[in-house]
Structure 1
């Protein structure tokens, strides 16, 4: 008998970053007791747990270890793997297509939705650090949105739009390097500089 109560409470509390570790641990415990678990194992959740924390190597290993008959009988598992494949191949738009291209079950919809939101934020941060200007079409491609939605999202982040050229100007985050001056550090620095000079 498998105890998936910890997994269920983790899903309920939306602590999605813990899912892969919990699944790995329970799977090892069950396997070490020689219990056959393949038919009822929550493979899609397990796979999505690895994808959520961007552990694509573990996701690939898990996928390869799943029996073919289970892959063929669980479309949600195949849909989860499609997200992993797109991430692996750096097919940014494909990630969003894979997410939107399947009607996720109530058990995983929160996990997939949160992953999608986090992925969009991550992609937007990458664009912010990599570009000073970028076309609306490119932003839409990288964040998996329509051009209108991508423009609105960028404008909400403080970017500006040149509507004639359809170019967005990136607003770089302000880097604050305000530090409190510790008097003891200042004293040590003064002594060090005094030593160097004399």
Structure 2
């Protein structure tokens, strides 16, 4: 099986494409009636679904993987542990699962990118759900030490009360991007042209 497309996506850091690429390859293999071989990148495939926040597809993939493969690949089991923590909304557990294995070079890039993306998602969740939060709770949600979490949120414009050890959330102004509708532009142009002539 040629996994060069998967490797290209990894090299170009197109992590959001990994799951789709692997799904397409899996369908191709199934259509050809070829059994899955030991070289199938199950951990990458699973992590690809986790990266795009498709835990349902990750669950179905996990259930379809033969037990013998699951038993022989610790990295695959570690990837699924991340999926389990996401499924149960064990936010701190996700970070523990990420740090729970010395990932291979191939998956390391994807895991690191997911970790960064997940931290951003957690920050946005905290920002939308809280007006104040303890440093300890924020650190747990962000998977950081209390000092690192405090520094992280301070860079985002939050404030800290050192006495109460509480963080005050600063809501970001929502900037809506106006999209130009070509149809409206065409009607406006025709209208102005009509007025001038």
Q: Is the pair's TM-score, using the shorter chain for normalization, greater than 0.5?
A: yes
In 2 relative to 1, CA 46–177 (structure 1 residues): closer, same or farther, beyond 3 Å?
Answer: closer
- Work out the CA distance in 2 between the residues paired with 1:68 and 1:178: 48
The residue number in structure 2 matching 1:95 is 94
Query: 35-44 or 60-69, which moves further after superposition?
Result: 35-44
What is the number of residues matched between the two proteins?
A: 181
In 2 relative to 1, CA 78–155 (structure 1 residues): closer, same or farther, beyond 3 Å?
Answer: same
The residue number in structure 2 matching 1:6 is 5
- Work out the CA distance in 1 between the residues paired with 2:176 and 2:54: 33
Residues 14-71 of structure 1: CA deviation (Å, up to 9, x unaligned)? 1000000100101111121111223221100000000000111110000001111100
2:167 pairs with 1:168: yes
SS in structure 2 at match of 1:40: coil
- Structure 2 gaps of 5+ residues are 179-186, 189-197
The residue number in structure 2 matching 1:76 is 75
- Work out the CA distance in 2 between the residues paired with 1:140 and 1:161: 13
In 2 relative to 1, CA 166–17 (structure 1 residues): closer, same or farther, beyond 3 Å?
Answer: same
Task: Note the aligned Cα RMSD (angstroms).
Answer: 1.8
Q: TM-score by structure 2 length?
A: 0.88
The residue number in structure 2 matching 1:15 is 14
Deviation at 1:174, TM superposition (A): 1.9
- Work out the CA distance in 1 between the residues paired with 2:151 and 2:45: 34
- Work out the CA distance in 2 between the residues paired with 1:85 and 1:92: 11
Q: TM-score by structure 1 length?
A: 0.87
- Work out the CA distance in 2 between the residues paired with 1:177 and 1:62: 37
